[in-house]
Amino acid sequence: MQTSIEIRERLAGVHTTQPVPEPGADEPVEPASAGAAGCGDNVLTEVTAPSAFELVELILKDRPRLERIIHDPSQSADLIPRFLAVALVGFTLFGVTLAIVISAVGVHVKLNSVADVLNADVLNGTAPSLIEFMRIRPNSSPSLVGSAGAAMRLISAYDLGLIAAAGVCLPSLFFYGLLAGVPMSMARVTVHTLKGMATTAVALIGILPIYMAFALGAAVFQAPEILVNSVLWLGLILPFAAGLFGVTSLYSGFAALARTLPAECRGKRACLLRRLIVSWSVCYTAVTPVMIFTLWGYFSR
């Protein structure tokens, strides 16, 4: 797949190369006319951003080319919805997988409010956790509609929670870039953020088959309750483990922008930028579980 940068370089080489006159000609051949240049300009204006499938391929195979593409400001309007689509598809597949695992192990997820946890009698050992996995009795299995509703609530909570948390933390990343001396528009910051989320979603899809096999094995062989609960907790925090790939992708994008700074201040600015990206990642990691839990509880009412 050719990017807009490669096409511009190729067309620039074509229009700057002087034609060689034929042997025996009296007059040299004139260079390309203005009409031909205008034709080249039309070709440039028709170059489009990679599709969602091509973005996934670039994330997996060619990260440097992906970085060159997102550094083109003219592609931001097209890249934002496509990165968002990749992220939503990945998170939705994760939600479907987790809902299947919860149904397979025969548990019901009970969400307790923060007030109930704080007001519980801790001394008597009756303090519940925010999320409890309740065993479903064999003779009281939920209906198909109830199972589908629980799955939709889980999927919606993760999809909206991960996206909404990024939206809440987006202004801080914009100002972090300004503090590090990397001026960027909000659109470009959004592109870099969604690129990190799309990378997280792709990594999450890659981890899901392994987790699915392990979780279904625990369900088929009727593993002990403590092991089943551990498997479910692992599934809940799996997006945050895959998020390390997204943080790495986000940092590489900002580090490439830091290389454009003057040489005398590049080292200090890059160090500050690295610390700010880590701080933003910690902030996003803290906000996301709260957002997911709040939405999950709201949808479960």
- Which pLDDT does position 151 carry in this prediction? 86
| Arithmetic mean of pLDDT, 167-191 | 83
Residues with Cβ within 8 Å of 62's Cβ and at least 6 positions away in sequence, in order, are none
> To which H or E segment does residue 108 belong?
strand 107-111
- Which pLDDT does position 213 carry in this prediction? 92
Question: pLDDT of 110-143, one tens digit each?
Answer: 888 777 777 765 555 566 788 888 887 766 666 6
| Arithmetic mean of pLDDT, 86-94 | 94
Residues with Cβ within 8 Å of 192's Cβ and at least 6 positions away in sequence, in order, are 70, 173, 184, 250, 253, 254
Q: Strand, helix or coil at 132? A: strand
C-alpha–C-alpha distance, residues 83 and 86, integer Å = 5
Mean pLDDT, all residues of the chain: 79
Q: What pTM was computed for the model?
A: 0.76
Between 255 and 127, whose confidence is greater? 255
Specify the long-range contacts of residues 60-68, CB closer than 8 Å, at least 24 apart.
60/202, 63/249, 63/252, 65/3, 66/195, 67/252, 67/253, 67/256, 68/3, 68/5
C-alpha–C-alpha distance, residues 103 and 141, integer Å = 10
**38, pLDDT greater than 50:** no
- Which pLDDT does position 181 carry in this prediction? 76
**210, pLDDT greater than 80:** yes
- Which pLDDT does position 74 carry in this prediction? 83
- Which pLDDT does position 4 carry in this prediction? 54
| Arithmetic mean of pLDDT, 56-85 | 88
Min mean pLDDT across 57-61, 208-212, 272-276 is at 272-276
Between 88 and 123, whose confidence is greater? 88
- Which pLDDT does position 258 carry in this prediction? 72
Cβ atoms within 10 Å, residue 57: 14
**42, pLDDT greater than 60:** no
- Which pLDDT does position 92 carry in this prediction? 94
Between 206 and 29, whose confidence is greater? 206
Min mean pLDDT across 27-31, 174-178, 219-223 is at 27-31
DSSP secondary structure code for residue 122 in this structure? T
C-alpha–C-alpha distance, residues 177 and 273, integer Å = 7
How many helices (H) and strands (E) the chain has is answered by 10, 2
Between 42 and 139, whose confidence is greater? 139
**191, pLDDT greater than 60:** yes
| Arithmetic mean of pLDDT, 265-274 | 74
C-alpha–C-alpha distance, residues 238 and 241, integer Å = 5
For the chain, which residues make up each domain, given as ranges?
1-47, 50-299
- Which pLDDT does position 32 carry in this prediction? 41
